[in-house]
Structure 1
Amino acid sequence: MKPLLIIFSFLTLLIGACKTPEARRPISVSSGSFMNTSINRNIELTAKEETRIQQIIKEDSLHTYISSEGGFWYHYHKKDTVSTSTPEFGDVVHFTYNLKNLDGQLIYSEAEIDTVTYSIDQEELFFGLREGLKLMKEGEIVTFLFPSYQSYGYYGDDDKIGTNIPLISKVTLNKIDKQSTTEIKTSQKK
């Protein structure tokens, strides 16, 4: 009787081991509603900011604004129509700028920020300003209107700029130090 019980147990174990594994079911199912809510909130925020920026542009009859591919607007105070040289990857630019909110209230003055020396696309700088500098030529003065997603976005700057604040910035590009292509290639290899 015992040998029969052992054989039966062995066969049961063998048959049970041949069963294909089943996928485990998740303990909780997420509907994605948080993501949908977040996406809708950001779409509404962007539309509201762009409406406000378009209102500023419409009210400013003295300047002709240009819409950039990056999603911000700008106009020239001083434009160089002769030079074709704009900063490229690795070039070092020296510039001054200020930051205001869309109501024109000064957040940071040029004196507070001082002259900035920045290596194009190799250092930290908020996205809109980084892209705006690439459009400028030496000696030009440009005012940019940045939606919050082009400036400091959700996080702000942990000081004077809060969450989702669109900005106006007047930028003066004082000097462009062109880097030779061999210097750039050497720095990229490091």
Structure 2
Amino acid sequence: MKPVILLCLFALVGCIKHTPSYSPAGKSLSQEDLQTSRERTKMLNLLEKSQIEDWIKSQAENYEATSSNYWINVGNLHDRSRKTNGEIISYQYEIYDFDWVKLYDDPIKNINVTFGRFEELKPIEDALRYINKGEEVILLIPSALGYGAVGDGDRISTDMPLIIKLKVL
């Protein structure tokens, strides 16, 4: 009899409707909510910018701020020729936190992808348009240009700035 009762209890628990912990799609936010979100993002961006700039000062390597709001260890990146949509590229990258802890064991690799037809973090795609085959660069990416307020659901937490080692294959 006990196994039947336990089975019934498990079945009942499984039928409970769980309330989502996020805003349902299509729900409009009030102007106050939008303003609060803008202010939070603005303050977070300023804080992360300051933290990244302080981190850079403690490094032996030089990093240059880009107009796209990330940093790279290559000078005058945007003075180079820019790859256009339709060009094909192969690349890989590794993701680290700002303690240089690698977040994933294996690099993320994309072979023969076409500019304009693949989706990547904006700083990665921007840097790829300027770096050459065989070249490896380091990107410092604030959370707003990375995985933002949601993270990746695995090892990248919410509001986490990232270091990306990017190489064109």
TM-score (norm 1): 0.65
Q: Displacement of 1:56 after TM fit?
A: 1.4
* Identity fraction in percent: 26
Residue 160 (structure 1) aligned with residue 155 (structure 2)? yes
Deviations 1:94-152 (A, max 9, x none): 1121001122211124xx13532232221121112111211212221100000111111
RMSD, matched Cα: 2.1
Q: Where does residue 54 of structure 1 map in the other structure?
A: 53
Kindly tell me: are residues 98 and 32 of structure 1, through their superposed partners in 2, closer, same or farther at Cα, counting changes over 3 Å?
Answer: same
Partner Cα separation in structure 2 for residue 85 and residue 137 of structure 1: 10
Specify whether residues 34 and 98 from structure 1 end up closer, same or farther in structure 2 by C-alpha distance, changes over 3 A only: same
CA distance in 2, matches of 1:38, 1:92: 38
Amino acid in the other structure paired with 1:170:
K
**Paired position in structure 1 for 2:121:** 126
3-state SS of the aligned residue for 2:166?
A: strand
Once the two structures are TM-superposed, the CA of residue 87 in structure 1 deviates from its matched residue by 2.7
Partner of 1:71: 69
Partner of 1:108: 104
Tell me, in whole angstroms, the C-alpha distance in 1 between the residues paired with 2:53 and 2:137: 17
Unaligned runs of 5+ in 2: 1-28
Letter in 1 for 2:87: D
Q: CA offsets per residue over residues 136-183 of structure 1, 9 Å max, x none? A: 122211000001111111222222212221110111112xxxxxxxxx
Equivalent pairs counted in the alignment come to: 136
SS at match of 1:107: coil
User: 1:86: how far off?
Assistant: 4.5
Q: Which runs of 5+ in 1 are unaligned?
A: 1-29, 175-190
Show the counterpart of 2:91: 95
**Following the alignment from structure 1 to structure 2, what is the Cα–Cα distance between the partners of residues 85 and 72?**
19
Q: Kindly indicate whether residue 161 of structure 2 is the aligned counterpart of residue 171 of structure 1.
A: no
1:166 and 1:133 mapped to 2: Cα distance? 19
| One-letter amino acid of the structure 2 residue matched with residue 155 of structure 1 | V
Partner in structure 1 of residue 10 of structure 2: none
Q: Secondary structure of 1:98's partner? A: strand
Give 1:89 deviation, angstroms: 1.1
- 1:35 alignment counterpart: 34
Give the whole-Å Cα distance in 2 for the aligned partners of 1:141 and 1:101: 18
Q: For the Cα contact (< 8 Å) 2:81–2:130, is it kept in 1? A: no
Question: Over alpha carbons, which structure has the higher Rg?
Answer: 1
Candidates 145, 155, 168, aligned match of 2:140 = 145
For 1:185, the equivalent position in structure 2 comes to none
Normalised to the residue count of structure 2, the TM-score between the two structures is: 0.72
